[in-house]
Structure 1
């Protein structure tokens, strides 16, 4: 297991404070956060390229906090890959073996097996400068893994590649992890990448951990509004508690002009008049288009609202609608997503069209101020 406890460091005027998380052996953990949040600083400190001011780094029950990089028994692949341009592919891959004085035939055999698996066996004599982006990335992975390192540190490894190549390499990395029993710590800002590769995630903002847990927990139960925004909760609006029952709350939302029912027994501790922020993901909003103004006026007040389509645009996976509630305070603009396979269930949409939205009571996120 990789264990980071109370890690503190400084880079210029920027500080990283009390970073703690653990990565079980054989799993993948993603460090996520906005640019400048401190993710790469943490990764470089684990790699031994920066000195920690406080805290500890343990790998397989061995304290490596003050060890030089070459004694940490890990591999680090920076964002620019750091391949040597004056060496060919084979020489780059075998560099780590030479530094560790591994010259045994079985290690050379490992090079052949790994490069064949990575699809670069035919490129061993080619110059690094004549490789594509994907080939460079595969070469960097091979160089990291050939010496037998079981901890792999990756800094935005696929950010420069086009989408199809990124997805191909995600699956390849996942397969390599399982086949070689590798523990991975990856820095990324790509949520799709994080959720495909990682078993758990740590969200860092302004040099501190905001939330760290299994990926599904972070996705379904973000700790606060900042985390919710980062993990793709598009709709966040103010509300006030007006009543509560044993398993639900009634919330007045001025932006929607309606009272919402939110089902979650954990929230019933909130007293009436408590100000909260309500969140719901775009894909959880149900859009009905076969409405007229007459039946829109007759809508029940609870969890339904008449809206006007302000903007719409097509995405690969569906249709995005920007909707303004007709009875709200004019400050709220909702985003709804209709999946491609559901488009046939709604009539043709256009800007200015009236629709009705339904907000499922069990899909709300709630953040007390």
Structure 2
């Protein structure tokens, strides 16, 4: 067991305050801080601290896969850590994107390898042969676009804009209010010629303004259309603004989760969250970005079935301090531990029963970690690596309350 120093990623959409405040650093930070990678991803592995010199977690796993990963993980995933844990802070929206299934990832990777497209090429879609299911859990109010909305509600939303130029598209979806109708409308919009897109978008944004500035009364699509307006201002002329009209607009409260399966089009809009995913870098973008958008490949992987009830409330393990975020992903399992030093509301300590590999992230307060004869103090914003060969692990609250997330193999 050793302290783990995450790899800080700075992207333009990141926050100058959220991650720095969580980790107890001065704000604002020098650059927008978007993600902290806590794992052994080759692109930016975290580092193990506490020895003579910091060691890359990737190098540590490569040097001793049996001791670090254990037999069960190796039997299923080989000599690589199958998951990646992140802190994610979005001040501005991320790109619209989807991830391939396992079959699609293998086929796409082999196809691009055969075509000789370099792994670092900006037009490369598949940088590995793995799928990328992911789970995001809100630490603050977290705003998301995820999955296609029920077509009947989307027809209602589009009609509420009162834009005559939309009538043809409304009729298209109203005549086939199912996944096929969503595919037809999305495909039409994402492939609109630039002159048609430039003519349609301003009318839609004007319709949003009219709707939002209307008189008193129930306006059920206020959040959705405010988001469309914001995206339209940030990404003028981008077909992703049209696509956002078709997606569920979701607000996660702290502690709530959202599982993003293969093919679900999504974009994280704003907030601070913990994210865990399969250790992959395969992304198909659909807009709201200057990066490469491969429309035919995106259409191959998208799942147009409407996504209903996507918000996940974790289930508590009876008599423990642990709540579990259930997903079907075999690569990862995420739990959250809420500790109370007084023992009044929650237990003051917890024993993690499953063996490593495991990454712990403290998101509130501080805890003492004990594994055999090793003891670590884990402060808010700090992380620790627990190898498969480490003895039993116990976390004890050092502050009045503490919260720790644990990522392990599913």
Which band: TM-score by shorter chain?
under 0.3
Query: Which has the higher relative contact order, 1 or 2, with Cα contacts under 8 A spaced 6 or more apart?
Result: 2
Structure of greater Rg: 1
Name the structure where strand makes up a greater proportion of residues: 1
